[in-house]
Amino acid sequence: MNPIFAQTATSVFETMSRLARQFDAVNLGQGFPDDPGPQDVRQKAADAVMTGWNQYPPMMGIPELRQSIARHYKRFHQLDLDWENEVMVTSGATEALAGALLALIEPGDEVVLFQPMYDAYLPLVKRAGGIPRFVTLRPPHWRIDEEQLRAVFNKKTRVVLLNNPLNPTGSVFLREDLDLLARYVVEHDCIVVCDEVWEHVLFDDIEHTPLLTLPSLRNRVVKIGSAGKIFSLTGWKVGFVCAAPEILRVVAKAHQYVTFTTPPNLQAAVAYGLDKDDGYFVGSRRDFQAARDRFAAGLEKLGLSVLPSSATYFLNVDLTKGRFAGMTDNAFSIRLVEEARVASIPVSAFYAEESVTSVVRFCFAKKFETLDEALKRLDAFMARA
């Protein structure tokens, strides 16, 4: 059997969700909202199942959705995308990542990864034959350090895999960081796979800059998005890829042999959803931000040190400050789920080497009552601990 998968542990999300069920914990580990998602978008999907086409849709995605993706990025980022040659629908961002990495990496190519990194990245890069080279980001600001870029980029570097906004840190790279990276990418003639699934989950009026909008990178970026995050429908697994025609053509070849298509009814509903007016997107940010603020304030009141979170469903607690100093994130997360009955995710799970072991991630994309119950349990745990 292939050792990359034979030796890989079960994902931390699955493991923590299993422990959450076992201990009847409030699950703030795996990232999913407890809001059911917009009713009109779900209704469109239901209608499309009953009255629409339920056979294979076109391999690249239904034209309505590809056009809607192009319109959406024009509206939000003034991106001009040719929907017929630069936009493809995939079965979630995960399939888009797998397809892009399979299509772009030649065995022996070096691939630059930024850790902490989403758990799927490393096995996919390795299975495609890529040699990972890591840039390590550190709390509290998770910035890109030029010295590390200089150390990892060389003439074998072919692909860079970046996640912005970044899960698990809840941070957004500054324009300065993106410009710095762009310089190295152009100098070394690389392609960047940019996972932007969290592009709409932003707070405090922070702006997201799609890497594809940097003029020097217009023909060097594979932009990946996901309707799962945009509409709080994480189980839908409708993703999209935008890239210059010569890149997309090759990524499409991988897609045609991995999943080939994505359920047409969900595609129709996402096509409708991406055209929703600005109010929907603003409202969704406002609601997540209110949940973030409530949970952050509650944690701080308990004496925990909360790191800044300006995007995603997540905020992080820094264990180096306060009464849990010295405890690892793994040990803390396990105690929390077993004794406080609150599930979280240890951020060291997102590092392959030189791990930061003092940060624990919580998902705040929950109803206030869920967050309040978690805080109540943490309070009781801390009184006992």
**Interface contacts to ligand GLN, rule CB under 6 A:** 11, 13, 30-31, 167
| Contact present, 314 and 362 (Cβ < 8 Å) | yes
Dig out the tokens for 260 from the structure. 């080939």
Of the pair 15, 136, the CB lying nearest ligand GLN is at 15
Report the greatest alpha carbon distance in the chain. 61
Strand-pairing partners, residue 112, are 133, 160
Task: Compare residues 104 and 197 and give the one whose CB is closer to ligand GLN.
Answer: 197
Q: How far is the CB of 118 from ligand PMP (least distance, A)?
A: 4
**CB-CB neighbours of 295 under 10 Å:** 25
Determine the interface stretch with ligand PMP among 232-240, 247-255, 258-266, 333-341 (rule: CB under 6 A): 232-240
The neighbouring-strand residues paired with 137 are none
**Sequence letter at residue 320:** T
CA distances from 164 to 31, 284, 304 (A): 16, 19, 26
Q: Do residues 135 and 144 lie in contact, with contact meaning Cβ atoms separated by under 8 Å?
A: yes
158, 237, 255, 285: residue in contact with ligand PMP (rule CB under 6 A): 237
Q: Which is nearer to ligand GLN, 13 or 381 (CB)?
A: 13
- The site that binds ligand PMP (CB under 6 A) totals a number of residues, namely 14
Interface pick for ligand PMP out of 83, 118, 272, 295 (rule CB under 6 A)? 118
The residue with its CB nearest to ligand GLN is 31
Helices 39-51 and 264-274, packing angle to 10 deg: 140
CA distance 177 to 173: 6
Rounded to a whole number of angstroms, the minimum distance from the CB of residue 167 to ligand GLN is: 5
Q: How far is the CB of 335 from ligand PMP (least distance, A)?
A: 25
Name the binder of 163 from ligand GLN, ligand PMP, none, CB < 5-8 A by kind: ligand PMP
Q: Which residues bind ligand PMP (CB under 6 A)?
A: 31, 92-94, 118, 163, 167, 195, 197, 226, 228, 234, 237, 239
